[in-house]
Structure 1
Amino acid sequence: MKRCLFIFAVILLTACSQEENEQNNGVTEERTLVVYESDANAEYVIPREVGYPKEMEQSAIRFIFDEVVIEPVKLLDYKLANGDTTLILNLDDGVLLVQGSAGGQMFMGALAETYFENLPYVQEIVLLHNGSSEELLDHVFIGQPITRAQSFKKQ
């Protein structure tokens, strides 16, 4: 009788272990990113956490952009320059629709603080409009570097 119970216990443990392995294989590993968004008064940016699938590691820059930007602005492409210390984001015509100085500050601030928080090697961010650094707007810095020294968070 003891031998039957022992065999039953081994079979049960083996089955449970296999079921747990099958469940874990279907689970996507996630890490947490901190993204910034405008506060209620559009004065500062505030953090929130989002889950980021680990297998998307190579597309973190695009993922961050899509999580942060609520304006009708699309990221055409991006590149890292100067030994990966400068992040250049090439934006479409949607950037022309960012409204006013507060909207521009929150747009740039949310992007900058989020990239600086999650990509520690990036020291400056440059926004382009359709590949051009020609300054079109007075409230979004096109072609001018946004540096870590600038803060959009409440001090």
Structure 2
Amino acid sequence: MATVTLGGNPIHTNGELPKVGDSLNDFILIQNDLSTASLNDFKGSKLVLNIFPSIDTGTCATSVRQFNEKASSLDNTKVLCISRDLPFAQKRFCGAEGLDNVINLSDFKEGSFGKNNGLEIVDGPLAGLHSRVVIVTDENGKILHTEQVSEIANEPNYEAALAVL
């Protein structure tokens, strides 16, 4: 169990993030067209997983915008934005913002992605949502970088995440 804060108040996750050097757990997430996507669908590409509580909060929206901007210059890299939001909300946000360099994936059905990667919030007002996390993998799903942002209202360290690519 990890401890992060929300407005300075401690909240907890259901476990610890996967470690650098480990392989990312396979997943089944829902795309904007309601089809499923798994880790295998992205094999051969480096991945930046931008994981957050909800697209409809300021910091989450900023992280999607920032990674969208930076993704356009990354070679053989896909940015996956993952939350428990409904795919319709993710699609609405990116459409309204004109963001097309990121792939939105929803964990709304069971939250299994968050549970399996130790990043589901288990108490406090955001219980059941994902904590703010960045995971970067190589082309084979080997984890190169992880960051669990200690204060959920803060942005991730974009430079550190992109530096490993």
Using the size of structure 1 for normalisation, the TM-score is 0.27
Larger-gyration structure (1/2): 1
Using the size of structure 2 for normalisation, the TM-score is 0.25
